[in-house]
């Protein structure tokens, strides 16, 4: 009885909603909206990419004519046409090396622990949550921490060592997260095969997990260094000088013990700080120097990112589980 009632109601409603004309009109309007969104989406994407291009072209047009061999071999100067970025690029290089030495071993080790060893407990949760939150902490806060701790408490001074450690800790979360992601792509069957042959946990990691995830880890390392090379604020906070007309102590010398780590304790400046210094000056000529420094900086970061993308792409194609 109830069923038949349903049937008649169905019959009544079946034809009601739309005639063919309605369908055509409805379709036309909906397709229109869909088309409009695809245009808006494309335009937005183009806008973002064009901004990147505009930024690059604007910088290069002003800066490239200024770039010459002297620009790399001169110290900064009061005379804009004589000024160069020698101390800045050497400083950047020294800071990068220190950053890498701090961030890579700690970051990779932490990533391995969290993926391979960490028990599923409260403390592990805390570590994981902490890493996520650390990635969201403003970079200038790291500078403040380093100023209070490394500069004044540990008395490292406003040195390359302090700078490298600051940036190393700043990019640590990036290294940890990318290491974990790289390790996670390795299927468990590989580990089981290794354990099955009697390998210890560390041997499994050493012989299988690390080699197979090295591409991903390398990508993370490069990305984190490219982030560090452009960081300015934390280094200003720890008191990096903006005007440096000397180089750090050479790491090798001809007197015993031939190798010196004195450079770690030297004052420094880096390329982004040099650029900031020049862009903050009112004179147009210094803006040209800033643009030239910016071009160098931008080319380096884009190159590093390009290499990282390439490695990631290669590895993803090679490693098919």
Partner 1 sequence: MSELKAFTSANHPTRRWRKIKDRLIETVLFLAACSSVFVTMGIVYVLVSESLPFFENVSFTEFLTGREWTPMFSDAKFGIRPLVAGTFMATFIAVCVAIPLGTIVSAYLSEYLKPSAREILKPVLELLAAVPSVVYGYFALLFVTPMLQKIMPNLGGFSILSAGIVMGIMIIPYVSSLSEDAMGAVPAHLREASAALGSTKFQTTLRVVIPSAFSGISSAYVLGISRALGETMVVAIAAGMQPNLTLDPSEPAATITAFIVQVSLGDLPHGSIGYQSIYVAGLTLLVLTLIFNILGMWIKNQIQEKE
Partner 2 sequence: MSPQFEIPTTSTTKFNLGVQSDFLRSQVKNLSFSYNPKDKLVLKNVSLPIFDKKVTALIGPSGCGKTTLLRCFNRMHDLYNEVSYDGEILLYPESKNILSRDVDPMEVRMRIGMVFQKPNPFPKTIYENVAYGLRVRGIKKKSYMDEKIELSLQQAGLWTEVKDRLHAQATSLSGGQQQRLCIARALVTDPEILLLDEPTSALDPISTSHIEELIVELKKDVTILIVTHNLHQAARCSDYTAFMYLGDLIEYGPSNLIFTNPSDKRTENYITGRFG
Half-sphere exposure of 152 (CA within 13 A, CB side): 10
Say if CB 56 and CB 260 are below 8 A apart: no
* Minimum gap (Å) between residue 11 Cβ and partner 2: 8
If binding is defined by CB under 8 A, does position 193 make contact with partner 2? no
* 18 interface partner picked from partner 1, partner 2, none, CB below 5 to 8 A per type: partner 2
The number of residues that bind partner 1 (CB under 8 A) is: 85
Beta carbon nearer to partner 1, 94 or 270: 270
According to CB under 8 A, which residues from 67 to 96 bind partner 1?
none
Task: Indicate which of partner 2, partner 1, none lies near residue 232 (CB less than 5 to 8 Å, by partner kind).
Answer: partner 1
142 binds partner 1 (CB under 8 A): yes
Partner whose footprint covers residue 134, from partner 1, partner 2, none (CB < 5 to 8 Å by kind): partner 1
Query: Does the protein bind partner 2 through residue 7 (CB under 8 A)?
Result: yes
Helix (H, G, I), strand (E, B) or coil at 259: strand
Least CB distance to partner 2 at residue 5 (A): 10
Q: Is 13 in the site for partner 2 (CB under 8 A)?
A: yes
What's the N-to-C CA distance of the chain in angstroms?
Answer: 59
Per the CB < 8 A criterion, the answer to whether 217 and 110 are in contact is: no
61 binds partner 1 (CB under 8 A): no
Other Cβ atoms within 10 Å of 80 Cβ, number:
18
**Does 187 help bind partner 1 (rule: CB under 8 A)?**
no
10 binds, among partner 2, partner 1, none (CB under 5 to 8 A by kind): partner 2
Site residues (CB under 8 A) for partner 2, limited to 27-46: 27, 29-31
- What is the DSSP track for 124-179? HHHHHHHHHHHHHS-HHHHHHHHIIIIIIIS---SSHHHHHHHHHHHHHHHHHHHH
Separation between Cα atoms, residue 68 and residue 289, nearest integer Å = 11
Q: Work out what residue 14 binds among partner 1, partner 2, none; the CB cut-off runs from 5 to 8 Å by kind.
A: partner 2
Nearer to partner 2, 7 or 260 (CB): 7
Give the separation between CA 52 and CA 275, rounded to whole angstroms.
19
Name the phi and psi angles at 215, rounded to 5: -60, -50
């Amino acid at each position: 009885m109830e069923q038949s009632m349903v049937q008649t109601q169905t019959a009544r409603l079946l034809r009601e909603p739309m005639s063919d004309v309605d369908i055509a009109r409805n379709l036309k309007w909906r397709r229109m909206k869909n088309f409009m969104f695809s245009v808006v989406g494309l335009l937005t994407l183009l806008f973002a990419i064009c901004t990147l291009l505009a930024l690059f072209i604007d910088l290069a047009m002003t800066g490239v004519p200024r770039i010459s061999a002297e620009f790399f071999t001169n110290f900064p100067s009061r005379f804009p046409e004589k000024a160069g970025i020698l101390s800045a690029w050497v400083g950047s290089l020294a800071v990068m090396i220190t950053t890498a030495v701090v961030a890579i071993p700690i970051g990779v080790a932490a990533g391995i622990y969290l993926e391979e060893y960490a028990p599923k407990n409260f403390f592990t949760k805390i570590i994981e949550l902490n890493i996520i939150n650390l990635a969201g902490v403003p970079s200038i806060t790291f500078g403040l921490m380093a100023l209070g701790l490394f500069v004044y408490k540990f008395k490292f001074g406003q040195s390359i060592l302090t700078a490298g450690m600051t940036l190393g800790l700043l990019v640590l979360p990036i290294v940890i997260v990318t290491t974990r992601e790289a390790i996670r792509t390795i299927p468990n069957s590989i580990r089981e095969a290794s354990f099955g042959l009697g390998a210890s946990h560390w041997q499994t990691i050493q012989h299988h997990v690390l080699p197979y995830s090295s591409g991903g880890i390398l990508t993370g390392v490069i990305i984190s260094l490219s982030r560090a090379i452009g960081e300015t604020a934390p280094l200003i906070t720890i008191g990096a000088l903006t005007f440096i007309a000397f180089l750090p102590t050479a790491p090798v010398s001809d007197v015993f013990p031939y190798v010196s780590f004195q450079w770690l304790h030297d004052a420094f400046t880096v390329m982004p700080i040099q650029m900031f210094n020049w862009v903050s000056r009112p004179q147009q000529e210094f803006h040209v120097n800033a643009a030239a420094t910016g071009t160098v900086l931008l080319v380096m970061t884009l190159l590093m990112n390009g290499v990282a993308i390439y490695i990631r792409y290669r590895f993803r194609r090679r490693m098919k589980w």
